[in-house]
Amino acid sequence: MKKIIKLQKRMVTFKTIAEDFLIFKKRQIKQSTYYNYTYKIQKYLLPAFENLSLEEILEYDFNRFSELLLETTQISNKFLKDILLVLKSILKFAEKKYDVKMKLDLINLPRVRTHSLKVFLESDKRKIKAYCMNSENTKDIGIALCLYTGMRIGEICALKWEDIDLNKRIIYVRHTLQRIYIDKKNTKIIIDAPKSEKSIRNIPMSNMIYTKLKSMRENFSKDDFFLTGDSKSFMEPRGYQYTFKKMLKECKIAERNFHCLRHTFATDCISVGMDVKSLSEILGHSDVSITLNRYVHSSDKIKKRYLEKLA
């Protein structure tokens, strides 16, 4: 038996383990996650480890790989961390399948800096509201929709009129649209479930959003994508980013990432006193702690107000 295990350690390669890992994972994870794993394995892991035997993998110093990758590519610490997490998942899979012990604790994950959230100023929000809500173009209204619901760019691109219930005044977030790598050279658009189970959610409409959507509803069928007004053509996130930047330029607002709309919405909800649990559900965070860590932080103005009460 020991001879068989020893032979197996010499014969099995990283490529075999990675392929078996993908087969094992395919039915358990979202399509986008599967292709995400495939891309990182083909682009970064196989070129480095493809022919390493299991025996060699057990002794390999994977931190050398991390250092080399940072030196020879333009990837960020965040992306490197994502690659290493896929690698650790493959090695954990190998541990169970071949009854071996990997040195997983010795793989150092890089530190990822948390950048301060950028939000729109009140004056900017007024400009965006006026520009978008006075428009009859659904692409413009989609921007306002994200500012007042916190929807992600992929979610608004996948939104159809059938997801908008004007009777109950609810927007159902059930899908996200994104362009992903299916291998290290090719990409394709997929419409899939959102990031996590909690991302599948219902968002109540404000009166302003309800009134605007109701005035437009009769012009579209339930199968039409909200942004394009067509059931067969959609707008992908990269194209919508361009629409967003064009709007900012016309409104004479400093350039911001589309995700800034979501940050602004969340920050505004906290400032008007929304409880964290409700906000977390509206944003579709997988855990309330994400909302707490990202958005619930008091400003100097709030601190001063409480200290004045004590005085």
Q: What structural domains does the chain harbor?
A: 2-106 (1.10.150.130), 122-303 (1.10.443.10)
Phi, psi of 216 (to 5 degrees): -105, -20
Q: What confidence tier does 1 reach under pLDDT thresholds 50, 70, 90?
A: very low
Q: Is the pLDDT of residue 196 over 50?
A: yes
Q: Is the pLDDT of residue 193 over 90?
A: no
Beta bridge partners, 180, equal 188
Phi, psi of 153 (to 5 degrees): -65, -40
Q: What confidence tier does 4 reach under pLDDT thresholds 50, 70, 90?
A: very low
Per the model's pLDDT, the better-predicted residue between 146 and 106 turns out to be 146
Task: State how far the Cα of 126 lies from the Cα of 220, in Å rounded to an integer.
Answer: 28
Per-residue DSSP letters for 214-225? HHHGGGS-TTSB
Confidence at residue 266, expressed as pLDDT on a 0 to 100 scale? 92
Angle between helices 77-98 and 62-72 (to 10 degrees): 150
Share of the chain above pLDDT 70, in %: 93
Q: What confidence tier does 302 reach under pLDDT thresholds 50, 70, 90?
A: low
Per the model's pLDDT, the better-predicted residue between 272 and 85 turns out to be 85
Nearest to 239 by CA among 231, 228, 230: 228
Confidence at residue 70, expressed as pLDDT on a 0 to 100 scale? 87
| Cβ atoms of 263 and 117 closer than 8 Å | yes
* Two tokens, residue 2: 């020991």
Average pLDDT, the chain: 90
Task: State how far the Cα of 212 lies from the Cα of 215, in Å rounded to an integer.
Answer: 5
Q: What confidence tier does 130 reach under pLDDT thresholds 50, 70, 90?
A: very high
Share of the chain above pLDDT 90, in %: 65
State pLDDT tens for residues 206-262.
Answer: 999 999 999 999 999 999 999 999 999 999 999 999 999 999 999 999 999 999 999
Task: State how far the Cα of 66 lies from the Cα of 86, in Å rounded to an integer.
Answer: 13
Beta bridge partners, 176, equal 192
User: Cβ neighbours of residue 282 under 8 Å, at least 6 residues apart?
Assistant: 149, 150, 201, 203, 269
Quick one: 311 exposed, middle or buried, by C-beta within 10 A (0-12, 13-18, 19+)? Answer: exposed
The CA distances from residue 252 to 36, 69, 137, 255, 268, in Å, are 37, 40, 19, 9, 22
Q: What confidence tier does 9 reach under pLDDT thresholds 50, 70, 90?
A: low
State pLDDT tens for residues 249-272.
Answer: 999 999 999 999 999 999 899 888
* Two tokens, residue 235: 């707008």
Task: State how far the Cα of 13 lies from the Cα of 222, in Å rounded to an integer.
Answer: 51
Q: Is the pLDDT of residue 30 over 60?
A: yes
Q: Is the pLDDT of residue 55 over 70?
A: yes
Of all helices (H) and strands (E), which one includes residue 49? Answer: helix 46-49
User: Cβ neighbours of residue 240 under 8 Å, at least 6 residues apart?
Assistant: 139, 142, 153, 156, 157, 227, 258
Per the model's pLDDT, the better-predicted residue between 308 and 102 turns out to be 102
